[in-house]
Structure 1
Amino acid sequence: MALASSALIAHTTDLELVIRHVLAGLGQGVHAGRERGAGVEFSEYRAYAPGDEWRRVDWKLLARADRYYVREAERDSHVAVWLLLDASASMAEPSRSIKGLDKLGYARTLLACIAAIAQRQGDAFGLALLSNGRVQFVPAARGPRQLQRVLARLQSVQAEGALPDAEALKSGLRFAGSPSLIFAATDFLDWPSSLSEALVRLRHMRHDVRAACLQTEAECTGGFDSGPAYRDPEQESAVFRFGADLREGYLRNREQHFAEVKASLRTHDVLHVDARIEQAPGEILRAWLRQGGRR
């Protein structure tokens, strides 16, 4: 199942197709904050999607159009969903077992699915891309057109350069005046970093901050080829060799690094999930969405 699901990510360029595959049967919202009751006004129709409540289907419109449509009539929950994507050069790290799959592609899929769930739930959602020393935004909005805007930007982004510096992130991430849900996909190879500082700052501002730490199977097990030399994609002058004699030290250093990452995230109440990109993304999404109940 994991192999088939991750292979689909690697072998299709259609994010909407991947979303439909991953979310089939997931049936879970980003949060439980939608309000119903007196004073709620009709906003729009949209096509029925698995998981929608049957009582919200417009049966008169079904008789005329011969298709199921749902009435969007929930009051705004005042919760915005923000997607943060680390698209620095290290996110181009490929899987050694699934051809065509890399960390950036896997992160795209996770965030695209969160966007689709937010759109279905009626929330405003936006996107922040961190790449090549810059922060690029898709401002938060609602509806199917917003989903298409977010998917298009996710599809086009490339992994390049380094993360924006602390000053650029500090000024760039002033996007949420009221408490928001923030989903950040990164590999946390740099720690501490401008991104880690930004996530902690956002949490101190009372946002619900959740991070997915993406790694490859080879990174987790030290399963790299010993022949070629490896160049750090974010520091071109740094070249490394990997062999059996270095594996034990690599794994020891890696364990220490991520122990420090997790300890700091716990200290600052930033929730996180660990994800190997060879895993089925639906498993990671379930864990990511369940985290909200722990506060």
Structure 2
Amino acid sequence: MARASSALIAHTTKLELVIRHVLAGLGQGIHAGRERGAGVEFSEYRAYAPGDEWRRVDWKLLARADRYYVREAERDSHVAVWLLLDASASMAEPSRSIEGLDKLGYACTLLACVAAIAQRQGDAFGLAVLSGGRVQLVPAARGPRQLQRVLAKLAQAQAEGGLPDADALRSGLRFTGSPSLIFAATDFLDWPSPLSEALVRLRAMRHDVRAACLQTDAECTGAFDSAPAYRDPEGAAGVFRFGADLREGYLRNREAHFDTVTAALRARDVPLVAARIEQAPGEVLRQWLRQKDRR
């Protein structure tokens, strides 16, 4: 089942199809900051979108307008959901066991699912794509059209270049004025980095920051082919080979690196979900959403 879910990511460019597959039966929201039901104040109408609860459809308005509309009723929580996508060159790393699957495609799927859940909950949500040293921003908004804007931007993302520097991130991530829930998908191969420092800074500002560290099975086990040569996609350090004689040292260094990453994030109250892209994305998504709202 895990391989089937990840293979779907590899073999379709339609994020809507992947979202429906991953979210089927998930039954989980992002946060408890927004309340609906009796005793809350009516906010606005919006067009019905697949996944909305039928009990929230305004049937009287349907009779007049001949279209389905959903009543949005909420207590003011001012929660915005922000999606941060690392689209630097290292995210092009492919799976060695599932053809067509790479870290970027998997990250886009996870973030697309979070966006779909935010849209269902009526939250404002936005996207920041970090690629080629730049921040490409989709400002936060609500509704089905916003979901389509975010999905289109995710579908266009390409893994290239390095992460933006600290100044570019500071000016690009201008959503720090109100409480936000931030989902960052990256591989944390660079530590510390401008991105890691930005996440720590955002958490210190009382945002709810959640990170997903994505790796491949081969990266985790050192099961690389020793025949081809490898080049650092984000650096100019030359060409390397990977043989059985180097595997033990690689695994030791890798474990030390990610132990440092995990400990540093834990110390700053930033939960980290470590995942392999060959895992079923629904399993990873459940872990990512499980953290309680800590603001």
TM-score by length of 1: 0.94
Deviations 1:137-173 (A, max 9, x none): 0000001111111111100010000001112112222
Give 2:48's match in structure 1, choosing from 42, 46, 51.
Answer: 46
Same amino acid, percent of matched pairs: 83
Q: Residue 255 of structure 1 aligns to a residue in which SS?
A: helix
2:203 corresponds to 1:203: yes
Asked whether the 8 Å contact 1:81–1:124 carries over to 2, the reply is yes
**Cα distance per residue 1:113-143 (max 9 Å; x no partner):** 0000000100000001110011110000001
Residue equivalent to 2:253: 253
Deviation at 1:188, TM superposition (A): 0.2
Secondary structure in 1 matching 2:283: helix
1:27 Cα deviation (Å)? 1.4
Structure 2 unaligned runs (5+)?
none
Q: Distance in 1 between matches of 2:47 and 2:153?
A: 25
Pair 122,38 (structure 1): closer, same or farther in 2 beyond 3 Å: closer
Q: Deviations over 1:46-72 (max 9, x none)?
A: 1352xx545323345677899976433
Mapped pair 1:238 → 2:238 = yes
Letter in 2 for 1:44: R
SS in 2 for 1:55: helix
Structure 2 CA distance for aligned equivalents of residues 62 and 6 of structure 1: 39
- What does 1:164-243 correspond to in 2, within 5 Å? 164-243=164-243
- Give the drift of 1:206: 0.3
The aligned amino acid for 1:39 is E
Q: Distance in 2 between matches of 1:26 and 1:63?
A: 32
Aligned pairs (5 A) from 1:111-190? 111-190=111-190
Equivalenced residues, count:
293
1:264, 1:112 → 2: CA distance?
27
Contact 1:115–1:125 (8 Å) recurs in 2: yes
AA aligned to 2:45 is S
Query: Which range moves more in the overlay, 235-244 or 254-263?
Result: 235-244
Matching residue's letter, 2:277: I
2:73 alignment partner in structure 1 = 73
Contact 2:40-2:74 within 8 A present in 1 as well: no
Where do 1:69-108 residues align within 5 Å?
70-108=70-108
Q: What RMSD in Å do the two structures reach over aligned CA positions? A: 1.9
Q: Counterparts of 1:38 and 1:58 in 2: how far apart (Å)?
A: 16
- Gaps of at least 5 residues in structure 1 are none
